[in-house]
Structure 1
Amino acid sequence: MDDRRQHSRRSTELQLEVFELHTGQRLGRVADLSADGFMLFSDKPHRADSLVACRLVSEEVIEGVGEIQLNVDCLWSRPGADGQHCWAGFHIIDLEPDQSAALEVLLKHL
């Protein structure tokens, strides 16, 4: 598989949940994270090529960071081995400078 990532993904021991920004609907839990995107473990499939405004929320506030708002593009979505969960890859397409700094804080602690 061609890996086009510019930054390496880091698995996380932190519990990072992702929620749709406007509805508050839970989208899933972050399995790994980079400055460019994340892989999500979810209870429901996501539509590839869909844009989502979302909030990435940490269960633990780290250096004042508990939440990051960002816009992402779902690049792919696949069912999990158990047939009840799915995996999806998201690319960050829009991130305000203060939110980018907050993401760097989280990445430092992974």
Structure 2
Amino acid sequence: MEDRRQHNRLSTELQLEVFDLHSGQRLGRVVDLSNEGFMLFSDTPLAVDALIECRIVSEQLIEGIGEVQLGADCLWSRPGADGQHCWAGFHIIDIADDQAVLLETLLKHL
């Protein structure tokens, strides 16, 4: 598969969980992150082309930041080796300026 990313994704030692902004449902754990997108490890299958509004929540505060809110498009989704989990790649399509600043701050700590 051709890698068309313009920014490197950074793997994280931080515990970053993703939650649906409206339902509060946990969507999964961030595996890697950039200012353009992220890869998610999920307990449930995620649909390709699904648009989500979500919160990326840090287990610990980073420079006072506990979460970042954004909109993302699921570009791909694959079942995990155990058949029960899922890997999915998201492109960030909507993020407010103040949230983009918070995301950049988080990225500095990865």
Amino acid across the alignment from 2:81: A
Q: SS in structure 1 opposite 2:7?
A: coil
Identical aligned pairs, as a percentage? 74
Equivalent in the alignment of 1:48: 48
1:1-110 aligned within 5 A: 1-110=1-110
TM-score by length of 1: 0.98
TM-score by length of 2: 0.98
In the TM superposition, residue 24 of structure 1 has moved relative to its aligned partner by 0.1
Q: Output the CA distance in 1 between the equivalents of 2:45 and 2:75.
A: 12
Structure 1 alignment gaps of length 5 or more: none
Q: What is the number of equivalent residue pairs in this alignment?
A: 110
Structure 2 alignment gaps of length 5 or more: none
| Superposition misfits of 4+ residues, deviation over 3 angstroms | none
Q: Output the CA distance in 2 between the equivalents of 1:45 and 1:84.
A: 8
Q: Output the CA distance in 1 between the equivalents of 2:38 and 2:64.
A: 21
Instruction: Please give the root-mean-square deviation of Cα atoms over the aligned residues, in Å.
Output: 0.5
In the TM superposition, residue 69 of structure 1 has moved relative to its aligned partner by 0.4
